[in-house]
Structure 1
């Protein structure tokens, strides 16, 4: 019903005139946007970091956690719904707190530290906590994941040229979500080979390597944006 209502409301929005300038093919627009992302030193490592984060984290959330709830905890759809709710509440909480209590000055460090925290929180699944502990892990993971996304978007938006900002942000989001199907496929094979719990070792080790590269072989740690 909400989707139908939203569609009806959208039909009443005024039509905007087409933008001035020559219209280009969508593939050419995407290619130019990707080239712009890789041309800017302050944006390139963030997009790469978020792409691999999508591979290592989203696959766990989309594939592994539902299987763990079903096969390890013998939970039903209600248990999975609670797990997803805890994650989303954590994400919303992090956004509210950052909005309410001020500006983070070292966004690059916050990005790396929050991504590291996500990896450590994810590794707690190896200890097979009780179901309510898994809910707590999901909530904490949502908090750290929310911080990572906000910090990444802030840095990308600040560094992007004004006339390409929308395109660059779209590539940032595409990179993050584009890693999801790759991660889902890889974690699915890992679960078949070593089981749903032990498979968490693979993204955990991958994140350790990724964080070390981001910390010591890129300039992300020192990136910052001052408003005004």
Structure 2
């Protein structure tokens, strides 16, 4: 049991990571509360799946357009200070949305505008946060730390949406936004209180022209980075649109409200906790592991699409949660370990673009399919996208093996 605990929670031996982990444990619950509240607010204001997709697209469009520049900032600047600034900006956005909602003046265009601002901050925050993990724990504990981050995110997913559903039903949609604004104080305090001397900082990128293009060229000539990023792009575009599909699934086929939506999201979070712990203690990295995870994720989504009742859907979504966190943790760690330190921020920015920045393309499409065909149809498209990504990985693995088996050329 001691060996299992030491392997599964090894990254928590680093004091800076413990502080960060504790701060995130508070903040992420608020983040998931806001995610549920924002989707439900748009549904209350419009009743439209297309509007849900449009707001999601507004939130993630800046990541698609500005993500590589956010990665360059992460490579150039002090990541800890940069993260303190982004957390403060997130808090201001959540506070604004909460005040607009509780005062009853909120309109859907305001939600879209604040979602756009949220995306602009995320374009800077995400690559800095992803690459900062390596500074806190070092490469030997990176996979473990990434997996524990996934466990934390999905533990919050299990708690935050359920709490948000109750708060929305009892106190109104604006309260989760206000609670989320306050929750950022925990992670800001954790970042401010770190032992800076213990951080394992890599070299910063010097200021020179063409650095974004340098990062793109580096990825393009490195198959160990390019293939996982392509897989993440396919899955991120069409499969990770749960904020669009699940509200419609709750209100449509299962005839529920905000509480049902919270249950569906919490079921995914509960499954992801188990999946994340398994990956933290026993997970592997590399293209083969990523391919297996993509295939399992796609199969789980298709099972959810066929669920005949709410109870079966909740069970299927726990499997979706477990396979989803495995796919993300393996992809994240594979990229960070394969990337040169000087390019890590820009590589993780492309991870953010592939995973989140693709939402402006996928969210309106999945929203329209879910509204005009059925939410189950939106899930089917996502499940098939995962299987396509798995096929891309299998094809690349086959080429690697064929190349490894080629005979050496004979000397002339």
TM-score (norm 1): 0.80
Q: For each residue in 1:27-85, what CA deviation from the matched residue of structure 2 results, as whole angstroms up to 9, or x when unmatched? A: x54433222222211110100110111012112x1211210111110112112112212
Alignment-derived partner of residue 118 in structure 1: 297
Verify the 8 A CA contact 1:125 1:200 in the aligned structure 2: yes
Residue 275 of structure 2 corresponds to residue 79 of structure 1: no
Verify the 8 A CA contact 2:269 2:318 in the aligned structure 1: yes
Alignment-derived partner of residue 67 in structure 2: none
Question: Hey, what's the Cα distance between the residues in 1 that align with 2:360 and 2:318?
Answer: 23
Question: Hey, what's the Cα distance between the residues in 2 that align with 1:55 and 1:20?
Answer: 31
Q: For each residue in 1:179-225, what CA deviation from the matched residue of structure 2 results, as whole angstroms up to 9, or x when unmatched? A: 22321111112224322223433333333333223312x238969xx
Residue 233 of structure 2 corresponds to residue 51 of structure 1: yes
Question: Hey, what's the Cα distance between the residues in 2 that align with 1:132 and 1:52?
Answer: 29
Taking only aligned residues, the RMSD between alpha carbons, in angstroms, comes to 2.9
Cα 1:10–1:155, aligned 2, differ >3 Å: closer, same or farther? closer
Q: 5 Å matches for 1:78-157?
A: 78-100=259-281, 102-104=282-284, 107-157=286-336
Gaps of 5+ in 1: 224-228
Alignment-derived partner of residue 23 in structure 1: 207
Q: Which has the higher contact order (CA 8 A, sep 6+)?
A: 1
- Higher Rg: 2
Verify the 8 A CA contact 2:240 2:382 in the aligned structure 1: no
TM-score (norm 2): 0.47
Alignment-derived partner of residue 397 in structure 2: 219
Question: Hey, what's the Cα distance between the residues in 1 that align with 2:204 and 2:225?
Answer: 28
Verify the 8 A CA contact 1:69 1:76 in the aligned structure 2: yes
Alignment-derived partner of residue 226 in structure 1: none
Verify the 8 A CA contact 2:287 2:393 in the aligned structure 1: no
Question: Hey, what's the Cα distance between the residues in 2 that align with 1:21 and 1:116?
Answer: 37
Per residue, is there more helix in 1 or in 2?
2
Q: Which one of the candidate residues 341, 346, 353 is aligned to 1:167?
A: 346
Residue 238 of structure 2 corresponds to residue 69 of structure 1: no
Question: Hey, what's the Cα distance between the residues in 1 that align with 2:357 and 2:214?
Answer: 18
Matched length: 215
Alignment-derived partner of residue 35 in structure 1: 217
Question: Hey, what's the Cα distance between the residues in 2 that align with 1:93 and 1:180?
Answer: 26
Verify the 8 A CA contact 2:270 2:318 in the aligned structure 1: yes
Verify the 8 A CA contact 2:288 2:397 in the aligned structure 1: no
Question: Hey, what's the Cα distance between the residues in 1 that align with 2:330 and 2:398?
Answer: 11
Alignment-derived partner of residue 386 in structure 2: 207
1:107 CA drift (Å): 3.3
